[in-house]
A and B are shown apart, each in its own frame.
Chain A
Amino acid sequence: MSTLNPAADAGTRAPGRRWTPERREALFGFFFISPWIIGFLVFTLGPMITSLVFGFYRTDLLQIWEVVGFKWFRAVFTDVLVRKAMFNTAYYAFIMVPLSTTLALLIAVLLNQNIKGQSFWRTVYYLPSVVAGAAVAILFKWLYQPDIGLLNSILNPILFRLSNFLSLETPLVAPRWVFSQEWAMPSVIIMALWGAGGAMLIFLAGLRGIPTALYEAAKIDGAGPVRQFFSITIPLLTPTILFNVVLNIIASWQVFTQVLIMTQGGPNNATLTMVLHLYNTGFSQFRFGYASAQAWALFLAILVFVLFAIRTSSSWVQYER
């Protein structure tokens, strides 16, 4: 906040005519960014600090305001449900980030191969990420329906024939997807992979930025397509990869809407994620203090992984130009 003082100084100390062009410009500068400054203080910095403070209270935000010290912050580490939620969220993120980044990169590279009708294919792959949200979760819930859903009505006959072919004693059966403890989280992940188009579009933009001269030079030097891919495409795309990985880490650790609609955290808390759990703790049980402490724990976890990605990036991201 002290950063704002120079603006105030410039305003009060220099009345009327004595404004130098520099001062005028600085004043206008702060005038132009003032909406952001207000928004930052009121809707970002203020709430962040306040939620840290709330973490030290037992509160329903109405009558109860009782200081409890570090109780909630300690509870975050010992509460079985929070640990479960942390684990589930980490499970989701650690599978989702590499898988969706790889998938998006793969599609982008394929579509970048001077393919006919590129913009058509691009639209087909991108469209699912435009409609992300409640409608998609409801759709997938139905596709995953174990008995009459589309997915199993395709899978089960195939598995049945396969079992016959291998003459297995107990025939293979398709998983019960969101109704099964083991498969519920993979189901959520598969649905999320359907939205890989967003990252794909960013990769396509990155691929377009690679100068074609490099490929021509490589061709003259006798490098085949595979060599070109690993020696030109991937290294020059590493900044884009980092960008997508960071975005993906942040989004994955906050997975919420899909699990709320598809499983409500079940079965048996197999898909209880951190944001869902802190939402329940706050807005269903009215334990807003504990929820705030959980929010901070999750925030720190995200921060650690994002910083880790950025820190280690210097060893694998190639910046040219």
Chain B
Amino acid sequence: MAENTATITESVSLPLQRQRHYNVGVILWRVLLYVVVLWGAVIFAIPFYWMIRTAVMPPYQVNLFPPEWIPDSINFVNFRAPFVGPFPFARWFGNSAIVSVLSSAGVVLSASFVGFGFARLRFPFRNLLFIVVLSTMMLPEHIKLIPTYLLFVKLGWINTVLPLIVPNWFAPPFHVFLMRQFFMTIPQEMDDAAKIDGCGWLGIYGRIHIPLSLPVMGVSAIYQFTFTWNDFLHPLVYLQQVDKYTVALGLRLFEGFMRSNIQDMMASALIAVMPTIIIFFIAQRYFIQGIVMTGVKG
């Protein structure tokens, strides 16, 4: 990434230097550009800011009208609220963590396995089957909801984390696509060399493709983690006991309970979104690379 930006600035700053006596129009345009980008960013950041400022605000200040932008003092007492209330918030957090981590692991392992098959092996109907993969990528979730619900009822999996995890161990199409696109970029010669050295297909997959695809696996894992962490529909359908809830689902119970304590509500919401934000910042570089890589070249 750093290299990319460097080359971009170089290529653009060269002509700039050559024509120093730039006209007023260009300068105005640059100023306008920064003003628009800055204002847009402020608008995009305000909801976040508001969430944080309310979460750290002393309770007496929250309900003042008109609302005040800067907290008198920063305090963390509100963050205790979700843990001391009548709901098992820590438990929900743990449930979300288990579900999100195991879903990500399943997606990465299964989708890379399947992606390798589609990228590297020749077998009958391969292209047809890959078209099926692509079209199921676009399939809306709700169409499968009721029969899948019945299936999990019959299996006795309601109120367990299994319905939220197990389907992700069977190669969700989006991730298969991501992996396959990546494997296609690994030179065929590497496979051939390994084959000559006596490597079987599993060896080629395990010794060449897995080590080379760690970045894209990271992308896949972050995508899935974020998605599962934020998912609301599936936990809502499959989890009915309050202590089995995930954080996203549980927040909704807080809403009724904390109606008069908006600072507690915002502190809870902030804790709830923290993991996805932290993971995004840790893995930002891979994540954005991955999106560039999947190409979307039509």
Contacts and interface: CB of A to CB of B under 8 A. Distances in A.
Interface of A: 3, 6-7, 22, 25-33, 35-40, 42-44, 46-48, 50-51, 54, 61, 107, 110-111, 113-115, 118-119, 121-125, 127-128, 130-136, 138-140, 142-143, 148, 150, 153, 157, 194, 197, 201-202, 205-206, 208-209, 212, 225, 239-240, 242-243, 246, 250, 253-254, 256-257, 260-261, 275, 278-279, 282-283, 288, 291-292, 295-296, 298-299, 302, 306, 317, 319, 321
Majority SS at the chain A contact face: helix
A209 B295 contact: yes
A48 B138 CA distance: 13
Nearest to A253: B140
Given A50-B147, A124-B44, 11 more contacts: A6-B125, A25-B122, A33-B117, A36-B170, A40-B170, A110-B40, A142-B262, A239-B296, A278-B142, A295-B145, A299-B140
A113 B33 contact: yes
Interface string B177-220: 00000000000000000000000010001000000000000000
A110 to B, nearest CB: 5
A133 B230 contact: yes
Given A118-B5, A150-B67, A239-B297, A254 B142 contact: yes
Interface string B1-36: 100110011011000000000000000010001101
A3 B269 contact: no
A107 B237 CA distance: 36
Nearest to B33: A113
B252 A261 contact: yes
A113 to B, nearest CB: 6
A32 B36 contact: no
Contacts of B144: 43-44, 47-48, 51
A143 B169 contact: no
A37 B117 CA distance: 12
Given A32-B113, A44-B139, A61 B67 contact: no
B176 A110 contact: no
Interface in B23-59: 29, 33-34, 36-37, 40-41, 44-48, 50-51
Interface size range on B against A: 35 or more
Contacts of B60: none
Contact of B288 (A127, A201, A298): A201
Contact of B170 (A38, A134, A288): A38
18 contacts: A27-B123, A32-B201, A33-B171, A39-B171, A40-B132, A44-B144, A48-B139, A51-B147, A114-B9, A115-B34, A123-B284, A128-B47, A138-B265, A250-B140, A288-B150, A298-B140, A298-B142, A298-B143
B85 interface: no
Given A35-B171, A127-B280, A139-B269, A29 B140 contact: no
Nearest to B265: A138
